[in-house]
Structure 1
C-alpha cells in the first residue's frame, strides 16, 4: 500500500469517527424530537401487519381505525395499571406504617452496631411526597406517550405512500435490497415485541401467584411491576425483585419470609429469562448477550429510560442495515450472536 493510499485510508477512518461522535451528540441533543420518532417507527412496524390483515377483510379506513383503537386500548390499560399500583402502594404504606418504622429502627440499630450510623428517622411526609412525585412523573410520561401516539396516528397511513415513493426513486437492485432490509427490520421488531410481551405476561402472572402464595400483600401490584419492568432487558428483571422483597421486610418483620420471597422471585426471573425467553425467541433475533448489554447501556445514556425500552429493536435494525454494505458488514457480525 502506497503512502497516499494509507493516508487516504486513515483520513477516511478519522472522518468516520468524527461523524459518529457528531451523530451521537446530535441524537442526545435532539432527544425531544428524534426519540419520539424512533419510538413511533417501532410501534408502526409492530402495528402495520395488523392493519394489513384487517384491510383484507374490510375497508382500509375501518382497518386503520381499529388498529389505532387497539393501540389506544393498550396504552389506556398501561396507564390504568400504573395508577392503580401507585394507589395501592400508598394505601398499604399507610396501613403498615408502624411496621415500617419498627423495621427502619432495627435497620438503623444493626447499621450502628457495624459502624455505619444512619442519621434521622423515617419521614412519612417525605415518602408520600416521593410517591406523589412519582405519580407526577408518570403523568408527564403519559403526556409524552400521547405525543408519540399522535406521530403513530399520522405516520401509519403514510407507510404505503412512503414505500411507493422510495420504490420509484431507486433502481431495481437498490430497491430489492431496501425492501428486503425494511421487511427484515419490521419482522425483527414484531418478533422481539411479541416475545417480550409473552414473557412479560408470564412474569407478571407468576409474580402475582408467588406473592399470593407467600402471603405478601399487593400481589397484583408486584405482578404489574414485573410485567412492566420485563420490557427493559436484564436490568428490569433485577430491579423487579427489589420492591416486593423490601415490602416483605415491612410486612413480615424477621428475615425468613422475605428470604423465601427473594428466592422465589430470583428463580422465577432466572427461569423465564434464561429458559422460556430463548425458547420463544429462538435464534431469530441474532444479537449476542454482550451486544444487548452494551446496547442497553448506550441507548440509556443517550435517551434515558426511553432508550432502554427500545435499545434491542434499534440495535437489531442497525445490525440489519450494516449487513447491507460491505464497509459496515463487520459491525453486524460483531454484534450478532
Structure 2
C-alpha cells in the first residue's frame, strides 16, 4: 500500500506539534517545581540588566573595580529598601489590627443579617461570613510569617548571586561580540530584550513614583491610616501589568470601609481609579509600548503564566520575562519569527520591518536625543 506524500507530511506535522507541546508541558512543570530556585535567579538577572548602565557609565571616570563596587552597592541598596519596607509594613499592620476587631465583628453581623433578609438560610449565611471573623487574623499572620521566612532564605542566595553577576557584567560586551560572529540573530534579539526591559522598567518606575505620590496624598487627605504604606504598595504594584492597580487598591479600600463606612470606601475607589486610569492606562502605555511591543492579551496571559510558574516574583517580572522568552524562542530563530506578528501590539508595516534581515538596530528615544545633540 502506497502512502500519499502529502498525508505523510501532514502526519509528520501533527507528530511534531504533539512532541513540541509535550516538551513545553514538561519544561513548564519543571520550572514550576524549581520556582523557589528559579525566581531569585531571574530576579537577579533582570536587576543586573536594568542597572548595568550604571557601571558602564561610571567606567568613563572610575576604575573598573570602583564602577563594579558602585553597581553592587546600588543593587544591595534596592534589596535593603525592599526588605525594610516589608518589615515596616508588617509592624504597622500588626499595630493597627486590634483596633478594628470590633468594627469587623459589626460588619460581619450586618452582612449576616442582610443575607438572612434576602431569604438565605441562617446556617448558610453564617458559613458565608465565617472568613470575615477576626479570629482568622492569626492564621493570616502565620501565613505572612512563613512568606517572610521564605523570602529571607532566598535573600541570602540572591545577594550572593547578585555579587557574582555584577562582577562579571564588565565582560559581557566582549562575550556578546564573540557570540555575534557566530549567532548574529541571537545577539540582536538579546539586545532588543535588554533595550525593551530597561525602558519598560524605567518608565514603570517613573510612573510608579508619580502614582504613589498622588495616591499617598489623596489617602492622607481622606484620613486613611498608613497612607505612606499604601503609597509604597501602589508603587510596587505598578510593575504588575493589568491587575496591579486592583491589588494596590484593595487594602486602602478595606481600611476606608472599616474607618468611615461604604461612602469613604467608594471615594477611595473613585480617586484611585481616576489617578491610575489616566496615568497607567492612557499615558504610560503610549510611552513604553513602542519598545515593549506586546499586545494587551499577551501581557495579561504572561502575567497569569509567570505568576503560576514563579509566584509573586513572576507577577512583578511578567513583562521582562516575556521579552526574554520572545528573544530566545521567537526572535533568535528565522523559523519562529512569524509568531512575533501575534505577540506584538500591532501588525503594522513598521512592525514587519522590525525583523527585516537588513534593518538597523532599533534605537530608543534617549539614544536618538543624544545623537541629535551631537549633530548640533
State the Cα distance separating 1:282 from its structure 2 match.
4.1
Judge conservation of contact 2:72–2:163 (CA < 8 Å) in 1: yes
Q: Determine helix, strand or coil for the equivalent of 2:229.
A: helix
- Normalization by structure 2: what TM-score? 0.81
10-19 or 149-158, larger mean C-alpha shift:
10-19
Q: Given the alignment of the two structures, is residue 269 of structure 1 paired with residue 279 of structure 2, yes or no?
A: no
Is 1:117 matched with 2:107? no
1:133 aligned residue (139, 143, 153)? 143
Query: d(CA) in 2 for partners of 1:270 and 1:333?
Result: 28
Which residues in structure 2 correspond to 1:298-309 (within 5 Å)? 298-309=305-316
TM-score, normalised to structure 1, is 0.89
Q: Which runs of 5+ in 2 are unaligned?
A: 346-376
SS in 1 for 2:290: coil
Please say if 1:209 is aligned against 2:220. Answer: no
Unaligned runs of 5+ in 1: none
Aligned partner of 2:156 in structure 1 is: 146
How far residue 293 of structure 1 moved from its aligned partner, in angstroms, is: 0.7
Whole-angstrom distance in 2 between the partners of 1:195 and 1:189: 10
Which of 191, 196, 208 is the aligned partner of 2:199? 191
Partner Cα separation in structure 2 for residue 130 and residue 121 of structure 1: 11
Q: CA deviation at 1:121?
A: 9.3
Question: What residue number does 2:168 align with?
Answer: 158
What's the offset of the Cα at 1:165?
A: 4.7
1:243 Cα deviation (Å)? 1.4
Instruction: Verify the 8 A CA contact 2:209 2:235 in the aligned structure 1.
Output: yes
Distance 1:150 1:133, change over 3 A: same
Report the Cα offset of residue 128 of structure 1: 4.1
Note if contact 1:86-1:135 (Cα within 8 Å) is conserved in structure 2.
no
**CA RMSD, aligned part only?**
2.4
Is it true that 1:14 corresponds to 2:18 in the alignment?
Answer: yes
Q: 1:323 aligns with which of 331, 334, 342?
A: 331
The aligned counterpart of 1:60 is 64
Distance verdict in 2 for CA 1:226–1:299, change over 3 Å: same
Asked if the contact 1:112/1:118 (under 8 Å) is kept, the reply is no
Give the whole-Å Cα distance in 2 for the aligned partners of 1:88 and 1:201: 21
- Answer whether contact 2:71 2:166 (CA < 8 A) is retained: no
Shift of 1:45: 0.8
Checking the alignment, whether the CA contact within 8 Å between 1:288 and 1:336 is kept in structure 2 is: yes
Secondary structure in 1 aligned to 2:116? Answer: helix
1:246 equivalenced with 2:251 (yes/no): no
Count matched residues.
334
> How far apart are residue 89 of structure 1 and its match?
2.0
Conserved in 2, the CA contact under 8 Å of 1:229 and 1:240?
yes
